[in-house]
């Protein structure tokens, strides 16, 4: 029986990953790196300063205040 396109794509990736040698190490490095970046650094250390403001107007006002509050 002929496989569907979805099955063929799945098998393409599945067999590809299965046959990898050094690729497994590389994938492990990629996943660990992405975890550290998105679940440690981004979540706990890199909150956007403007995210405390809920509307674009509030964000604009904050930046305008920052830019114009210097001694000009």
Measured in degrees and rounded to the nearest 5, phi and psi for residue 3 equal: -80, 150
For residues 1 and 36, which CB has a smaller minimum distance to other proteins in the complex?
36
Which residue reads 């002929």 in tokens?
A: 2
Least Å distance, CB 1 to other proteins, is 19
Hey, what are 8's tokens?
Answer: 């063929």
Contacts of 63 (CB under 8 A, 6+ apart): 50
For residues 5 and 22, which CB has a smaller minimum distance to other proteins in the complex?
22
Query: The dihedral of CA 16, 17, 21, 23: what is its sign?
Result: positive
Least Å distance, CB 36 to other proteins, is 6
Q: Which residues bind other proteins (CB under 8 A)?
A: 12-13, 15-17, 19, 22-23, 25-27, 29-30, 33-34, 36-37, 41-42, 45-51, 56, 59-61, 63-64, 66-68, 70, 72
């Amino acid at each position: 029986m002929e496989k569907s396109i979805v099955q063929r794509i799945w098998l393409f990736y599945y067999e590809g990953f299965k046959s990898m040698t050094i690729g497994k190490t590389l994938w492990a490095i990629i996943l660990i790196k992405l975890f550290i970046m998105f679940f440690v650094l981004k979540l706990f250390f890199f909150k956007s300063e403007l995210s405390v403001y809920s509307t674009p107007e509030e964000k604009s006002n904050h930046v305008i205040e920052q830019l114009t509050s210097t001694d000009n």
